[in-house]
A and B are shown apart, each in its own frame.
Chain A
Amino acid sequence: MTDPYIILPVLLHLLTAILLIFCWKKVRAQKIISVAGNLVIVLLAFGLWMKVWNLGILTMQGGGWEAPFGITFVADTLSATLMLLTAIAGLAVAIYSCAGITKNRIQYGYFPIVHFLLMGLNGAFLAGDIFNLYVWFEVIIISSFVLMTLGGRKPQLEGAINYVTMNLLASVIFLTAIGILYGLTGSLNMADLSIKIANIENRELVHVTAILFFVGFGIKSAVFPLYFWLPSSYNTPPSAIAAIFGGLLTKVGIYALIRVFTLIYIPDSFLKGVFLFVAGATLVTGAIGALGKTDIRRLLSYLIICHIGYMLAGLALYTEQAMTGALFYLFHDIVIKTNLFLIAGLIYKIAGTYKMSELGGIYRRYPKLSLVMAAVFFSLVGIPPLSGFWPKLYLISESLNSGSYILLASILIASFITMYVIAKLWAEVFWKEPMVVTDLKAAGFDALSNFKKQLLVIPVIALTALTLYMGFGAQHIAVLAERISTELFHHQPYIDAVFEPKN
């Protein structure tokens, strides 16, 4: 069904960013505009999600040019759900930023850039044209690079250089793949490619482009062996920024992988083997990387890598059940990783350090807050019936069914190491004897006004509530993930929606 209004969340982010640039030096106005803009976008995204849920796939042809020639935007259930989650994460981060980001950073354009980043994410989820997808990826890279370097401290720049080098490399590979694909088929529209790629005689070249896409998106979503840019760059910016990165940036790579390898390519046994190996290796190496870390955010960065493996495992097994698990994990992961980095920022505000050896006694000082955080940690580990448990159940049962015992072992190893690492974190940070406050200037949580405290705590509580809902209301999420999984594996409706004759 054609609907010109699916693009509205993207446009509204742009509008918010423009208004924010008008208020360049007015910190207070920027905070209000950003939170208000995000609030409206959450409502819009929810409306879009409802519409897609009820009416099926919605499309929009940019400029009114019809499908294989114009730029198509498609909102299927996967896109709409991811946009909704992005909007929620964006709102949480915007509220948190009002108290968690220094005035100086805001005056150098923190809020407008965040909105450009969110616009890029929304655009990437909607893109129905592979080159358009590339353009949105560039929007994301440029804005995230600016966010990462904002403040200009030396470790930030080091991390950012790593980040931008690897991501530009990934973009080059991605663009090469698009170029070859265009040479082969003469089309860039993903629905059109889906039809045309099946009729190409030169299968070797098709496989080469498939591998190129996998490498390009793989670097962006930080899978084995090209993930080293992630831990070095995610632990340098302020926590609110790290929360957007951790929650959303790698996930857009996974989204692109899922989209490309269900719609355009159908992986053959060789490609599935590669996916299986990479998924297992990502799970194990990411988990092992998290083992020895003493800095909370470094630890979380490795956990991001490790957990990307679960989503890739779902794609590698390539059955509807496994994909359901991967999608469930994706939704769970967006919320929980955003929340974890916000929590890390909160701990920093309370204690003035990210080093686990210097932290301690938070449970004694803030028992209620600690319980909220505990709920998040338990969900991450996947204690039944919390949200991390259900997707793993899907993945484990599917890997048993398909006889991929090595993947099964990797999943279990990764789960146990995650549990061990989080238990250690809990013991060190919350239960250990109270620490000596090292950096009084950063440790200003008690000195903050009540309102600012609430600004920091409310997003964490809200995201925790969402995580708990995903755990206790798992049947709703499972129904959603199953529907998306079916849509992905039977993509004829997607193609029909794109090529629907104009009315």
Chain B
Amino acid sequence: MNSIILRTASNYLLPMLILFSVFVLLRGHYEPGGGFVGGLVAAIAFVLHSFAHGLKETRRFLRIHPGVFIPIGLLLSLISAVLPMIGGQSLMTGLWFNEPVPVIGLIGSALFFEIGVYFVVFGVTLTMLFTITESV
């Protein structure tokens, strides 16, 4: 799509959308949101970029293949789930820091699980969409 409005807008929207996706990810513990939605929003940021600038440009901008995010995210989720087992507790037991971190709030193993989901969804969505776009 060759539209100057879209191209200009997408340049500003990309960082905004990514920031919003992180916000959605962080608020997901007690309120609507979470890793899945956050990952989708982040993926959409790049899809919009590819609409405006073409797929080649987006791939160059992203530098690494989006598929790489899949195992990284899975590994992060797995580690956060397994971590309580080292202390003899059940799988996926929530471990929390005592002191809240500014802006984010309390940090626990659930957050890292969500970040893992975020990465997986981001990687899967972009891989699928890029592959489909290329094969059309």
Contacts and interface: CB of A to CB of B under 8 A. Distances in A.
Interface of A: 4-5, 7, 11, 14-15, 17-19, 21-22, 24, 60-64
Given A21-B74, A22-B71, A24-B67, A11 B90 contact: no
A18 B75 contact: yes
A60 B85 CA distance: 11
A4 B88 CA distance: 7
Given A18-B74, A22-B71, A5 B93 contact: no
Given A4-B91, A61-B90, A64-B93, A11 B74 contact: no
A63 B74 contact: no
Nearest to A73: B91
B17 interface: no
Interface string B64-96: 000100110011001001101100111111100
B68 to A, nearest CB: 8
Nearest to B88: A4
B89 to A, nearest CB: 6
B116 to A, nearest CB: 10
B92 A4 contact: no
The B interface is mostly helix, strand or loop, or mixed, namely: helix
Contacts of B91: 4, 7, 11, 60, 62-63
23 contacts: A4-B84, A4-B88, A4-B89, A4-B90, A5-B85, A11-B78, A11-B81, A11-B91, A14-B74, A15-B78, A18-B71, A18-B75, A18-B78, A19-B71, A21-B70, A22-B71, A60-B91, A62-B91, A62-B92, A63-B92, A63-B94, A64-B89, A64-B90
Interface of B: 67, 70-71, 74-75, 78, 81-82, 84-85, 88-94
Nearest to A11: B82
A21 B119 CA distance: 14
Select the residue from B88, B89, B91 with max chain A CB neighbours within 10 A: B91
Contacts of B82: 11
A63 B78 contact: no
Contacts of A61: 90
Contacts of A18: 71, 74-75, 78
B59 to A, nearest CB: 17
Given A18-B74, A21-B74, A63 B67 contact: no
A62 B90 contact: yes
Contacts of A24: 67
A22 B90 CA distance: 27
Contacts of A4: 84-85, 88-91
Contacts of B88: 4
A95 B20 CA distance: 47
A62 B92 CA distance: 6
Which of A18, A24, A60 has the most chain B CB atoms inside 10 A of its CB?
Answer: A18
A19 B70 CA distance: 11
Given A22-B71, A60-B91, A62-B91, 9 more contacts: A5-B85, A14-B78, A17-B74, A24-B67, A60-B90, A61-B90, A63-B90, A64-B84, A64-B90
A210 to B, nearest CB: 31
A64 B93 CA distance: 6
Contacts of A15: 78
Sorted nearest first, the 6 A-B pairs with minimum C-beta distance are: A21-B71, A64-B93, A63-B92, A64-B90, A18-B74, A4-B90
A132 to B, nearest CB: 12
A61 B84 CA distance: 13
Contacts of A21: 70-71, 74
